[in-house]
C-alpha cells in the first residue's frame, strides 16, 4: 500500500535521520524525500560542543548513518536545499523553485541560535554554535593563551569553556543570573558546576550583562553593566535557541513555543508531524505540553513520528533526558520540573567531591533526578523519576538507590 506514497522529511538533523531509518526499517517502500538546508548528511549535534570540538572524535562518528546507507535504502536526499513553503491544501512543499507532493510530512528543521545584535554589529570576532562549521571555527581559536569570552552560562557555554580550558585558552563566562545553569538546576546544584569551572581556572562572572562591545584590530573589548571590561580574541554567544517555526506558521499550523503537536506528534494538520527541537508535544505522563532541545528527545521523537506516519498510533512518553561532559565530570538528568517549580532538593553522595545524585521534588513527589559521576545510579534514577510519585527513604543514604527503586515495584 505504501509503494505509491510519498513521505517528505524537512530537516536533516538527528530527528530526521532517525525518522528516515525507522520508516525504512518498518517497511515503508514508497518515495522517501529528505530535505536539508545544510550540505551534510544527518548528524548528531552534541559532539559539536564535546568530542568533536576537542578533536577527540571525527565528524564521521557523528553521522546518524554512514553515507552509503541512504543509497542502499533508496532515500532521495536533497541536501543544501532549504524548503521555503508548505501547502497543506495542495499537500506540497516548495524548495529551490520546485514543488514536491507528499502524503505524509514530517517537520524537523530544528532550532536557530538566538543572536546578540550588539555582538553581530560590533565587527568583533563572534561565534555561535549550531553547525559543524560553527564548531570548526571555535576549535580553530582554541589555543594556548587565546582569550575566549562566553556570553551565557548554559550547557553549550559551559561545555565550550571546558574544551577551551583543556586547550589552554583563557576563558571568561558572563552570566546574567546568580549562577550558570540556575534556571535548569536551581542554586542547590548549579553552584557545583560554577565551582567546577572556577577550579579549572575559568573566570565566572555572574549577575552581569554586556553593555557594549567594541572591536579593535580583531580583538573584542566587552564592557559589562557592572563597569568592568574584558577582552577576547573570540566572543562565543550561547544565549539559547528558538524553534524554527517559519514554515509551520506560514502553513497555518498551530504554534506556541514551537509547533503544537499531540502525544503522537501530529500537528493541527493531521498529515503533518513535527519532531525534535521544533515540537511542543503533549506529554501523557507530565500532563502538559513540553518542548525539549536535547539529543535523546530527537532520537525518540524521530522514531515515534515515523511510526505514526505509518498509522501505528504510538504515544511518545519518554521523559526528557540530557547529558553533559565537562572536564572530569559527566552527568545525566531525567525528568522535568515544569512551570510550577520544585520545593525540595535531595542530594546524596559527596557533591563537593563531584560524585552525587540529586532529586527535585514538589510536595513530596519526585519530578526529576540526575547523577554526577555515578553511572551505576542511572537505572535507579530512571525508575524513581518515571513514577512521578512520592518515594520513601529518598533522603536516607543508608538505603541505596537500588533498594529504593526496587521498593517501588
Query: What is the DSSP code string of 242-270?
Result: EE--HHHHHTT--BSSSEEE-TT-B-SST
Instruction: Tell me whether residue 140 is in a domain.
Output: yes
In a shared domain, residues 136 and 210: yes
In a domain, 83, yes or no: yes
What is the residue range of 301's domain?
Answer: 6-112+242-309
Q: Assess whether 230 and 216 both reside in one domain.
A: yes
Secondary element (H or E) of residue 336: none
Give residue for cell 545524585.
357
Q: Is the pLDDT of residue 238 over 90?
A: yes
Mean pLDDT within 181-200 = 97
Residue 370 lies in a domain: yes
Mean pLDDT, the chain, rounded, equals 96
- In this structure, the answer to whether residues 159 and 229 fall within a common structural domain is yes
Sequential DSSP letters for 27-55: T--SEEEEEESSSSPPB-SGGGGTHHHHT
318 belongs to a structural domain = no
Residue 316 lies in a domain: no
Residue 128 and residue 229 in one domain: yes
User: What integer is the mean pLDDT of 225-234?
Assistant: 96
pLDDT given for residue 409 in this prediction: 80
Beta-carbon contacts of 271 under 8 Å, excluding residues fewer than 6 positions away, are 88, 91, 102, 103, 104, 105
Q: Which of 359, 367, 362, 368 is nearest to 394 (CA)?
A: 359
Q: Report, as an integer, the average pLDDT of 374-401.
A: 95
132 and 223, same domain (yes or no)? yes
> Strand, coil or helix: what is 212?
strand
- Work out the average pLDDT over 188-197: 97
Q: Tell me, what's the pLDDT at 36?
A: 97
**Domain's final residue, options 214, 237, 260:** 237
DSSP label of 390: B
pLDDT at 140 over 90: yes
The stretch 316-328 carries a mean pLDDT of: 96
> β-pairing, 31-36 with 75-79?
parallel
For 405, the 3-state DSSP assignment is helix
Where is the domain boundary, 237, 254, 278?
237
143 plus 175 within the same structural domain: yes
Query: Which pLDDT tens digit goes with each residue over 70-108?
Result: 999 999 999 999 999 999 999 999 999 999 999 999 999
Query: Model confidence over 4-16: pLDDT tens digits?
Result: 999 999 999 999 9
Residues 90 and 119 in one domain: no
Q: What is the CATH number of the domain that holds 351?
A: 3.30.390.30
- Nearest one of 254, 333, 269, 263 to 300, comparing CA atoms: 263
Q: Residue 1 — very low, low, confident or very high, per pLDDT cuts 50/70/90?
A: low
Query: What crossing angle do the helices spanning 14-25 and 295-309 adopt, rounded to 10°?
Result: 40
pLDDT digits (tens, 9 = 90+) for 292-303: 999 999 999 999
Report whether pLDDT(389) > 60: yes
Give the tens place of pLDDT for each residue, 14-47: 999 999 999 999 999 999 999 999 999 999 999 9
Q: Please report whether residue 317 resides in a domain.
A: no
Helices and strands in the chain: count of H runs, count of E runs: 12, 26
Tell me the mean pLDDT in the region 223-240: 96
Which of the four pLDDT bands, split at 50, 70 and 90, describes residue 3?
confident
Residue 217 domain-assigned (yes or no): yes
Query: Is the same domain home to 104 and 186?
Result: no
Residue where a domain terminates, one of 216, 237, 258: 237
Q: How confident is the model at residue 174 (pLDDT cuts 50, 70, 90)?
A: very high
Q: Are residues 230 and 121 in the same domain?
A: yes
**Percent of the chain at pLDDT exceeding 70:** 100
Query: Does 262 lie in the same domain as 285?
Result: yes
Q: What's the structural domain count of the chain?
A: 3
pLDDT (average), residues 266-285? 97
Angle at the Cα of 164 from the Cα atoms of 209 and 349, rounded to 5 degrees: 85
Same domain, 122 and 222: yes
pLDDT number for residue 268? 98
| Amino acid 349: pLDDT | 95
Alpha helices in 268-334 (DSSP H): 295-309
Q: Which residues contact 138 (CB under 8 A, 6 or more apart)?
A: 53, 127, 129, 160, 234, 236
Q: The domain spanning residue 152 has which CATH number?
A: 3.50.50.60
156 and 88 within one domain: no
DSSP annotation of 22 reads H
Question: Rounded mean pLDDT of 191-209?
Answer: 97
Residues in a beta bridge with 259: 255, 279
Q: Is the pLDDT of residue 110 over 80?
A: yes
- In-domain check, residue 323: no
Amino acid at each position: 500500500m505504501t509503494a505509491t506514497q510519498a513521505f517528505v522529511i524537512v530537516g536533516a538533523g538527528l530527528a530526521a535521520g532517525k525518522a528516515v531509518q525507522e520508516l525504512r526499517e518498518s517497511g515503508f517502500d514508497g518515495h522517501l524525500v529528505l530535505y536539508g538546508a545544510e550540505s551534510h548528511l544527518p548528524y548528531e549535534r552534541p559532539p559539536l560542543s564535546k568530542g568533536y570540538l576537542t578533536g577527540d572524535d571525527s565528524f564521521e562518528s557523528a553521522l546518524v548513518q554512514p553515507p552509503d546507507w541512504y543509497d542502499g535504502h533508496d532515500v532521495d536526499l536533497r541536501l543544501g536545499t532549504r524548503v521555503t513553503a508548505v501547502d497543506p491544501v495542495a499537500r506540497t512543499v516548495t524548495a529551490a523553485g520546485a514543488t514536491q507532493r507528499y502524503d505524509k510530512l514530517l517537520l524537523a528543521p530544528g532550532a536557530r541560535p538566538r543572536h546578540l545584535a550588539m555582538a553581530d554589529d560590533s565587527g568583533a570576532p563572534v561565534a555561535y554554535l549550531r553547525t559543524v562549521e560553527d564548531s570548526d571555527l571555535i576549535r580553530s581559536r582554541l589555543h594556548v593563551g587565546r582569550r575566549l569570552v562566553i556570553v551565557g552560562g548554559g550547557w553549550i557555554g559551559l561545555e565550550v569553556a571546558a574544551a577551551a580550558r583543556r586547550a589552554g585558552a583563557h576563558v571568561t563566562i558572563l552570566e546574567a543570573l546568580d549562577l550558570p545553569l540556575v534556571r535548569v538546576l536551581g542554586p542547590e546544584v548549579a553552584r557545583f558546576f560554577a565551582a567546577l569551572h572556577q577550579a579549572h581556572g575559568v573566570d565566572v562572572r555572574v549577575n552581569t550583562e554586556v553593555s557594549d562591545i567594541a572591536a579593535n584590530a580583531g580583538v573584542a573589548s566587552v564592557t559589562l553593566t557592572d563597569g568592568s571590561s574584558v577582552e577576547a580574541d573570540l566572543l562565543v554567544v550561547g544565549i539559547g535557541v528558538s524553534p524554527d517555526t517559519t514554515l509551520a506558521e506560514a502553513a497555518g499550523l498551530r504554534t506556541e513555543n514551537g509547533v503544537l503537536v499531540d502525544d503522537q506528534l501530529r500537528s493541527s494538520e493531521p498529515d503533518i508531524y513535527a519532531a525534535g527541537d521544533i515540537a511542543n508535544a503533549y506529554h501523557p505522563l507530565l500532563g502538559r505540553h513540553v518542548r525539549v532541545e536535547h539529543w535523546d528527545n530527537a532520537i525518540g521523537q524521530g522514531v515515534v513520528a515515523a511510526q505514526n506516519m505509518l498509522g501505528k498510533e504510538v504515544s511518545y512518553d519518554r521523559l526528557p533526558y540530557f547529558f553533559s561532559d565537562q572536564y572530569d565530570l559527566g552527568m545525566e538528568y531525567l525528568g522535568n520540573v515544569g512551570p510550577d517549580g520544585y520545593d525540595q532538593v535531595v542530594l546524596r553522595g559527596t557533591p563537593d567531591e563531584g560524585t552525587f545524585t540529586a532529586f527535585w521534588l514538589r510536595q513530596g513527589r519526585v519530578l526529576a533526578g540526575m547523577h554526577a559521576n555515578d553511572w551505576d545510579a542511572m537505572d535507579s534514577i530512571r525508575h524513581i523519576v518515571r513514577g512521578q510519585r512520592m518515594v520513601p527513604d529518598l533522603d536516607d543514604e543508608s538505603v541505596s538507590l537500588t533498594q529504593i527503586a526496587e521498593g517501588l515495584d
